[in-house]
Structure 1
Amino acid sequence: MTVLEALAASLRAAAQYNASSQVAPTAILWPDKDREWLPVLGQLQSALPELFSLGSYKPDHRQGPAIWLKCVIADALPEISLPVGQTPIIYLPGVSRQDLRAITACPVDLQPLAELQYRGVLWSQVNAKDWTVNAFLISRTGGLGLDVAQDAKTQTAMLRALEPLLDTDVSQLQGRRLEASDFNQLLSTDSVRDVLTWLSDSQAVQASWAGARWDAFVGICHSEFLVHPEKDGDLVAAENLCARLGPWARVWERFIENTAAFSRLPSVLMRCQPDLAADVSTYPSYNQQQENDLLAQLRSLSTCGSNELRKGLIDLDAHHGVRRSWVWAEMGLAPIAQLLEPLVLIAKTVAGSGLSGTTPEEMAEHYRSHYWIVDDAQLRALAMAREPSVQLVVRDILNSLYTPWLHETALNFQQLVRAKGYPGSDGVNEAVATYQTSSEVVFFVDGLRYDVAQRLAVRLQSLGDVRQRTNWAALPSVTATAKAAVMPIHHQVTGRTTDTDFQPSLKTEDKPLSAYYFRKLMEEGGWQVLGAEENGDPQGLAWVQTGNIDEAGHTDNLRLAGRIDSLLQDVYLRVEELLQAGWRKIRIVTDHGWLLTPQPMAKVDLPKHLAEVRWARCAEIKGTVQTSLPTVNWRWNLEQTIAVAPGASAFLAGRHYDHGGLSLQECLTPIIEVLSTAAPSLKLSAAAITKVQWLGLTCRVEVQSTAADLSVDLRSSPADPASSLVRAKSLKGGKCSLPVEDDDREGDAVIVVVLDSAGNVLAKQATLVGEEA
């Protein structure tokens, strides 16, 4: 039973009478001279529909003057219905029992009610005194019999917390002495959260909590955390938090558990300075000063030689690396300390020399087992450097550490290929080996370099059984040549002396392998070529393309590093969608990798008259021309000689990003297979979206299908239920309407998806919210 329920029972019990000797009371009068109960009148009226109050005329609030109350009691007002079986209760704020009894001295506006003390009954204590809040709580006769401290501080806190007090279960108040802190806690059920909220924006919080809640918070903060918000201010509180003094230790623990909820707090704590004995990890000012120092030291190191640079980075990390475990790093306030991690990884791994081996395959195994992390670390470092001034420092450091290693590694690989041959020339093309007879998708991602593929493989672990292999790109490692080699129709492709720009042609016709002929040959071979909005028949075989990393590299250059993760997310979502559609195996393949250098690649001179075609990393040499440059044969016509740029250089100036050359980064390509671990299901029912029409922000959809229990949803990502803009609706007669409630989404690109009862996507169609027909 709550305090409110006990109070209501006590009030109603006042109307009890002996029917054999008394008549029923007309009303229960509730005098409250000090208006203690007035702040919770609305709460009381919700529990007591028969409760009316003396006051200005507000019938909607069951309040009115004495004459109006007399009419209510007489049930003479058609707009007022008294609850059946309940005696009206008349609350009299500002009126005492004595005021009613002194009829001749009773105020005129109260006189109409005075006679009710004879026809009705007063709710009062056994000693005939009015019920105060304190009296009702402590009285063992008619009250709750609680142990409440009688000091002024407790009495003030009790009245301030009256609203939550009424909703408190009586059992929670029994068996202990109730003091000011207990009542303050009722107003603030989570004092630690309130302290953090106040500290995050003290002035705004004080204004919004003005009144009882603020007074309660001041009391709690003073008694529980030993800081008075009004007298000491937020700076004293901030200093205690940084120092984690006494009770502030648990405030700190709550902060680091949920930093997102208190993102403004570091700017407040920034005013606090640690003393010599302090734990500096809790002071954002110290972290910021260390960030400034670290950037200055990196800027100074960027001009040093490679050996001194490597040692300097490792020494800096010994001091600053610990800050990556501090809360400020989690909140994004230690970006330079975070940036130091990939730079140090490169410094420790390259060790001043390039990767090598006794054969190209052995060199590739070293790279697969460990050294790919150097390329990954370079991309991460470039992505982390967001400020222009930081970007310049990072590029200089990478140019001294990474570029020489990349160049020497590429030279070593080229020498091994010259001596031992290129492994991809006579080895098995793993990308196109042993397809399943059904339910396999060959998923092409342009420019999926090996190190980038390792990130993707980690993401894909949640979707199924992930397996990895590698393949050697067709040479030269450009899209026109290498993509054709990983197509299921590769055996129908050849190269002729008349072919240009490394683009092969068809074996059956003297025509280039165009998009048209690719689709034609694929379909003739029983392959579905799926568009971006198609999931196809999972009982067959299909080709899919998503995630053009190569295009982003050519357009964005160094900015590619910061786009990698979003490009991989597109691939992940498409794989998830295909698996949900019922495909059993997704084979992710690519054409080539690429080089990305922090400064433009060194230019190697190759006169135009010596080459038929000259690209940044490769060139087709004219028939009888001799060259000292590394050379390879064209994959589709071995009679054609291709010169490749030595090491990590280029034939064209100003290139940060490019491919077509002979390096592990360009030639060793990944194959990722994702096998569905879901139980095989029956063939999904076919469904086709026949109409999508917008009427304002309502999308009307029509679907043709023989299946039952289909529903339609609007999503930002077709395979992701969490991206839904609306509540999915079932189709009725093949139709449904989906209203978008958020006006701000008008014009957004969304996808209409048709779902079966298991949530599988059967069909989808792109549209724009509110699109006009």
Structure 2
Amino acid sequence: MKLIDLLAEEVRASAAYNSNIQMAPSVILWTDKQRQWESALPLLQAAMPELVVLGDYAPEQKRGPAIWIKCVIEGVLPEVQLPQDRTPILYLPGVERRDLRAIADCPDMLKPLAELQYRGCWWIYNNTGRDWTVNAFLISANGGAGLDVAKDDKSQQAMLRVLTEILESEREDLANRRLEAPDFNKLVSSDPVRDLLSWMNDSKVCRERWDAPRWQALVGICETEYHFSPERDGELTAAELLCQRQGVWESVWQRYAESCHHYPNLPDLLMKVQPDLAADGASYPVINADDEQRLEQDLSQLLSLDSAQVRQQLLRLEQRHAERRTWIWSQLGQAPLAGVMEFVSQIAERTQQVFSGIDAEEMAELYRQEYWQVDDLALKALAYPLSNGQQALVQQLLALIYTPWLDEVTRNFQNLVKAKGYPGVGQVSEATAAYAPGGEVVFFVDGLRYDIAQRLEQMLVSRANIKLSSNWAALPSVTATAKAAVTPVHDKLTGRVSDRDFEPSLLDEDKDFSAYYLKKFLKEKGWVYLEEGETGDPSANAWVQSGDIDKEGHVKGLKLAARIDTLLEEVVERVDELLAVGWRKIRIVTDHGWVLTPGTMSKVDLTKHLTDTRWGRCAVIKDAVDTGYLQLGWYWNKDVSIAMAPGISSFKAGQHYDHGGLSLQECLTPIIEISSNQQVQTGPSATAALSDLRWLGLTCKVQAETGADGVVAVLRTHAADADSEICKRKPLKGGKCSLMVDDDFEGMTAVLVLLDESGNVLAKKPTLVGDE
């Protein structure tokens, strides 16, 4: 039982009477000379709606002067109605019983109430004539709670300060222990460590927002448990104690470490604390800041060294600063250089030696097993959140350790191709070979480099059975040539000497291959081209394309590194949509990879009059003349000679991102085969197609064509995620329904989804909530 319920029960019990010899009392008089109960009046009146209070006129609070109170008790004021089945209770703050008993000396303001003592009864302490104090009620086993309350001044003051919280507590939670000041304070400050950290984070805001009991409770707890006074010592003293982490402050530190993002201003306060010589930087941000500044200076000094020396010094600096990544300052973004060193140092270690092989295939195997990680680490280093100056510094360091390694590895690969041929020549394209005759999607992702595919594989592994393999890109490794080679309609294409921009022609007509003909030839082969938002029939074959990594690279250059994960999430979302509607197999293919260099690629000259087409990493050579560079035949027509830029250089100046050349990063392309691990559904599946979607205010009018009953419509923020629904599901009746959305979602991007009875996505369409 809560103490407030026990109190109400005891106060009301004082009106008990013997109906054989007594009349029912007209009021219960509750005197409180010391005003101890006054702070809990809102709670008291909520628990006892029959309670009225002597005081200034405030009828909405059931409070008023003596004459008004008599009228309320008699029930003659229609605006104030007390419960009919309860004896009215009159609370008299600042009044004691004898003030009413001595009528001749009774204050004028009380005289109208004096006669109530003859028609009413008193709530008094065990018939002693004394007021029920808060302490008496809590400790008394007769008419009270029977608790053990300490008698010292701090405990008694804390008890009165948190009276409301005490009364709202369960008696069982306070029983069987001695209640002292810290116990009472914790009733208001239910999480004192949180309150302490919040106050340290922004003391001014907390003092303005907290009421007096909560503030006083925290002060009391700090004085008794944390051995300092917020009022006398201030937040800087608290910061010093927090950094020292001695005794009970260790638990405060651990709490801060677990939830440091909730206190964004606290590091600024802790920065004011000056550590002693034995201080640990894990809890002193000023030490971390000094180390971070020193690391930046040390890294800057490396720029004058050669690559081997830079690698050696980076490994030494990593040993010195690696521990700082375990400090909370790293979580808070205050150790960015220590953070990026994790990737830069690994690059330094892994690029100490270049690799090669007896042929291009052996070199590719070494790359698949290990060396793809160097490229992945370089992207992570370039993507790390740093200031502009720090980003420039990291790029310069990568130019000293990664770029020369990448160039030498690429030259080794080019030499093997020159000596023993390109592995992709004359081979069947693994990207489009042996696909299932039904129930398979070929999912094209432009520019999905092999190391990026490793990330994508990890993002997909929990959703399905995954197999990662590789393929050789068609040369040159540009979209026009290589994408056509991985389509299911590649057998409809050829290359003519007159073709330009590496775009093949139609086999039977002298026309360029285009998106129109891709869709046309797919349809002729019984394949479906799925547009964005379409999920198709899982019993057929389909072509899907999404995740334009290549476009982002050409537009954003080095900033592509920070966009990789976002672009891959879009691919994962599309895969989820396809798996959700029942596709059993999805084969992710790509056209080419790319090279991304921290500094601009070195430019090599190629005489313009020798070329028909010249791009950054490749060029079509007129009449197959010898340019002095490695030249290979075009994938679609061997009579067309393609010159390849040496190493990771470019025929154009100012390039960071490019492809079309001859490197493992551009030519060794991934294939990801995804096999659904969901149970195959039996029986015919429902079909549906959206025909119309209109917004009337925040109501979405849906019209669709369905091939079965039980189809429902819903709006989601992510098409395949049931947890992202922003409205109630509605069944389609006659192909129509209306979906209503709360105004909180107005203007949000959403997806209208049609579902079958099993929750499978049948169709979807993006929309803007409330769009007119």
- Residues in 2 aligned to 1:671 and 1:16: alpha-carbon distance in whole angstroms: 86
- Residues in 2 aligned to 1:577 and 1:495: alpha-carbon distance in whole angstroms: 36
What does the per-residue CA deviation read over 1:407-431, in whole Å, with 9 as the maximum and x for residues that have no partner?
1111111111122211111333211
- Report the Cα offset of residue 217 of structure 1: 0.6
The match for 1:184 is 185
* Residue pairs, 1:568-607, within 5 angstroms: 568-607=568-607
1:443 equivalent in alignment to 2:443: yes
1:373 equivalent in alignment to 2:337: no
What SS does the corresponding residue of 1:344 show, helix, strand or coil? Answer: helix
The match for 1:241 is 242
The match for 2:88 is 88
* Residue pairs, 1:266-345, within 5 angstroms: 266-345=267-346
Using a 3 Å threshold, how does the CA distance of structure 1 residues 80 and 705 change in structure 2: closer, same or farther? farther
- Residues in 2 aligned to 1:276 and 1:336: alpha-carbon distance in whole angstroms: 24
What SS does the corresponding residue of 2:364 show, helix, strand or coil? Answer: helix
1:417 equivalent in alignment to 2:414: no
What does the per-residue CA deviation read over 1:531-554, in whole Å, with 9 as the maximum and x for residues that have no partner?
111111112111111111111111
The match for 2:42 is 42
What SS does the corresponding residue of 1:425 show, helix, strand or coil? Answer: coil
What SS does the corresponding residue of 1:346 show, helix, strand or coil? Answer: helix
The match for 2:471 is 471
- Residues in 2 aligned to 1:739 and 1:426: alpha-carbon distance in whole angstroms: 58
The match for 1:668 is 668
- Residues in 2 aligned to 1:471 and 1:742: alpha-carbon distance in whole angstroms: 50
1:3–1:168: 8 Å Cα contact kept in structure 2? yes
The match for 1:232 is 233
1:582–1:684: 8 Å Cα contact kept in structure 2? no
The match for 1:254 is 255
- Report the Cα offset of residue 749 of structure 1: 3.2
- Report the Cα offset of residue 737 of structure 1: 3.8
Using a 3 Å threshold, how does the CA distance of structure 1 residues 691 and 64 change in structure 2: closer, same or farther? farther
1:443–1:544: 8 Å Cα contact kept in structure 2? yes
What does the per-residue CA deviation read over 1:153-181, in whole Å, with 9 as the maximum and x for residues that have no partner?
11110011101100111122222221111
The match for 2:756 is 756
Q: Which amino acid aligns with 1:678?
A: Q
- Report the Cα offset of residue 14 of structure 1: 0.3
1:701–1:736: 8 Å Cα contact kept in structure 2? yes
1:140 equivalent in alignment to 2:141: yes
Using a 3 Å threshold, how does the CA distance of structure 1 residues 198 and 604 change in structure 2: closer, same or farther? same
What SS does the corresponding residue of 1:361 show, helix, strand or coil? Answer: helix
Using a 3 Å threshold, how does the CA distance of structure 1 residues 36 and 583 change in structure 2: closer, same or farther? same
Using a 3 Å threshold, how does the CA distance of structure 1 residues 729 and 360 change in structure 2: closer, same or farther? same
- Report the Cα offset of residue 308 of structure 1: 0.9
* Residue pairs, 1:729-768, within 5 angstroms: 729-731=730-732, 734-742=735-743, 746-768=746-768
* Residue pairs, 1:476-515, within 5 angstroms: 476-515=476-515
- Report the Cα offset of residue 748 of structure 1: 4.0
What does the per-residue CA deviation read over 1:419-448, in whole Å, with 9 as the maximum and x for residues that have no partner?
221111133321112112322111100000
* Residue pairs, 1:501-650, within 5 angstroms: 501-650=501-650
- Report the Cα offset of residue 216 of structure 1: 0.9
- Report the Cα offset of residue 207 of structure 1: 2.3
1:199–1:237: 8 Å Cα contact kept in structure 2? yes
Superposition TM-score, scaled by structure 2 size: 0.97
The match for 1:454 is 454
Q: Which amino acid aligns with 1:637?
A: N
What does the per-residue CA deviation read over 1:184-205, in whole Å, with 9 as the maximum and x for residues that have no partner?
1111111111111111112221
What SS does the corresponding residue of 2:655 show, helix, strand or coil? Answer: coil
Using a 3 Å threshold, how does the CA distance of structure 1 residues 416 and 249 change in structure 2: closer, same or farther? same
1:751–1:766: 8 Å Cα contact kept in structure 2? yes
- Report the Cα offset of residue 765 of structure 1: 1.6
2:620–2:642: 8 Å Cα contact kept in structure 1? yes
What does the per-residue CA deviation read over 1:256-290, in whole Å, with 9 as the maximum and x for residues that have no partner?
22222223322221112221122221111111111
Q: Percent identity?
A: 53
What SS does the corresponding residue of 2:135 show, helix, strand or coil? Answer: helix
- Report the Cα offset of residue 385 of structure 1: 5.5
What does the per-residue CA deviation read over 1:101-120, in whole Å, with 9 as the maximum and x for residues that have no partner?
11122222322221111111
Which runs of 5 or more structure 1 residues have no equivalent in the other structure?
Answer: none
2:624–2:640: 8 Å Cα contact kept in structure 1? no
- Residues in 1 aligned to 2:143 and 2:359: alpha-carbon distance in whole angstroms: 96
Q: Which amino acid aligns with 2:259?
A: N
- Report the Cα offset of residue 355 of structure 1: 2.1
What SS does the corresponding residue of 2:414 show, helix, strand or coil? Answer: helix
* Residue pairs, 1:671-686, within 5 angstroms: 671-682=671-682, 683-686=684-687
What SS does the corresponding residue of 1:302 show, helix, strand or coil? Answer: helix
- Residues in 2 aligned to 1:727 and 1:250: alpha-carbon distance in whole angstroms: 45
- Report the Cα offset of residue 5 of structure 1: 1.1
CA RMSD after TM alignment: 1.8
Using a 3 Å threshold, how does the CA distance of structure 1 residues 89 and 466 change in structure 2: closer, same or farther? same
Using a 3 Å threshold, how does the CA distance of structure 1 residues 201 and 751 change in structure 2: closer, same or farther? same
What does the per-residue CA deviation read over 1:681-728, in whole Å, with 9 as the maximum and x for residues that have no partner?
244422233332222333333333354444433333322344444454
- Report the Cα offset of residue 294 of structure 1: 0.7
Q: Which amino acid aligns with 1:540?
A: A
Tell me whether 519-528 or 672-681 shows the greater mean CA deviation: 672-681
Which runs of 5 or more structure 2 residues have no equivalent in the other structure?
Answer: none
The match for 2:360 is 360
- Residues in 2 aligned to 1:249 and 1:489: alpha-carbon distance in whole angstroms: 67
Q: Which amino acid aligns with 2:409?
A: T
What SS does the corresponding residue of 1:642 show, helix, strand or coil? Answer: strand
Tell me whether 480-489 or 165-174 shows the greater mean CA deviation: 165-174
What does the per-residue CA deviation read over 1:483-528, in whole Å, with 9 as the maximum and x for residues that have no partner?
0111011122111222111111111222111111110000111111
1:194 equivalent in alignment to 2:195: yes
1:17 equivalent in alignment to 2:17: yes
2:606–2:627: 8 Å Cα contact kept in structure 1? no
What SS does the corresponding residue of 1:10 show, helix, strand or coil? Answer: helix
The match for 1:170 is 171
- Report the Cα offset of residue 754 of structure 1: 2.2
Superposition TM-score, scaled by structure 1 size: 0.96
1:699 equivalent in alignment to 2:679: no
Q: Which amino acid aligns with 2:103?
A: I
What SS does the corresponding residue of 1:196 show, helix, strand or coil? Answer: helix
What does the per-residue CA deviation read over 1:54-75, in whole Å, with 9 as the maximum and x for residues that have no partner?
2233333222332232223223
- Residues in 2 aligned to 1:702 and 1:78: alpha-carbon distance in whole angstroms: 57
- Residues in 2 aligned to 1:66 and 1:481: alpha-carbon distance in whole angstroms: 97
What does the per-residue CA deviation read over 1:12-52, in whole Å, with 9 as the maximum and x for residues that have no partner?
11011112221111111111122211111111111112222
What does the per-residue CA deviation read over 1:359-404, in whole Å, with 9 as the maximum and x for residues that have no partner?
1111001101111111111111111153221122122111111111
1:573–1:720: 8 Å Cα contact kept in structure 2? no
- Report the Cα offset of residue 304 of structure 1: 1.2
2:336–2:386: 8 Å Cα contact kept in structure 1? no
Using a 3 Å threshold, how does the CA distance of structure 1 residues 725 and 284 change in structure 2: closer, same or farther? farther
